[in-house]
Amino acid sequence: MNVINFRRKSRVSLTGRSSIKYLAVLAALAVLVVAGFLQTEIDTRAPIPTNSVAISVVDGDTVRANGQTYRLVGFDTPESGSLARCERERKLADAATHRLRQLIANGQPALERIPCSCPSGTEGTRQCNHGRLCARLRAEGRDVGGILITEGLARPYVCGQTGCPRRQSWCS
């Protein structure tokens, strides 16, 4: 009779570097799976619902909605009240504020929150836009900044990634 000896296959044993690589790949996969389940992304560009929320005008480039104050981006309007440097600036500021109120009252406003051009970690604080968040505002599908610029009540004002240019005087 012939006896055949079977060798039991040994389990794969990982030693040294190969076990570290195996564990690293396993850990990376676990992190990806967990991140996929836990991922909650906040869309900062989503329109802020305005059909049930009133938008109130603070001045020509600032509005309030949902208990937040927003600096409208892409344009700059004159300063009003005691911040105005001359009578011309004060009158232009009043006209820009009045016109923005008209645009909101007449035309289905849509407020879109966007990231501010401030240093990282300062958005929503006094160091960034005096605590205001940033947004774009459309009325009847048109950007209100473009309308105010066309009407001579605002100027283009485009910021960089972490800061804005110096404001020009309205008094000359």
CATH at 95: 2.40.50.90
> Would 96 be classed as within a structural domain?
yes
> Would 7 be classed as within a structural domain?
no
> How confident is the model over 30-43, as pLDDT tens digits?
544 444 444 433 34
> Would 28 be classed as within a structural domain?
no
> Would 133 be classed as within a structural domain?
yes
d(CA 37, CA 40): 9
d(CA 166, CA 171): 15
> Would 51 be classed as within a structural domain?
yes
For the cut 80, the answer to whether the pLDDT of residue 169 exceeds it is yes
Nearest to 77 by CA among 125, 142, 144: 144
- How many domains, in total, are found in the chain? 1
Nearest to 163 by CA among 96, 103, 118: 118
Identify residue 119 by its one-letter amino acid code.
P
> Would 2 be classed as within a structural domain?
no
User: Which SS3 state, helix, strand or coil, does residue 74 take?
Assistant: strand
147-151-155-158 Cα dihedral, nearest 10 degrees: 20
Alpha-carbon 106 to chain mean position? 26
Tokens linked to 31: 């992190």
Q: What is the largest CA-CA distance in the chain?
A: 117
Question: Mean pLDDT throughout 19-35?
Answer: 54
> Would 6 be classed as within a structural domain?
no
Distances (CA, A) of 23 to 14, 16, 20, 27: 10, 11, 5, 6
> How confident is the model over 58-99, as pLDDT tens digits?
999 999 998 999 999 999 999 888 887 899 999 999 999 999
| pLDDT for residue 126 | 79
**What residues make up the domain containing 77?**
47-157
| pLDDT for residue 32 | 46
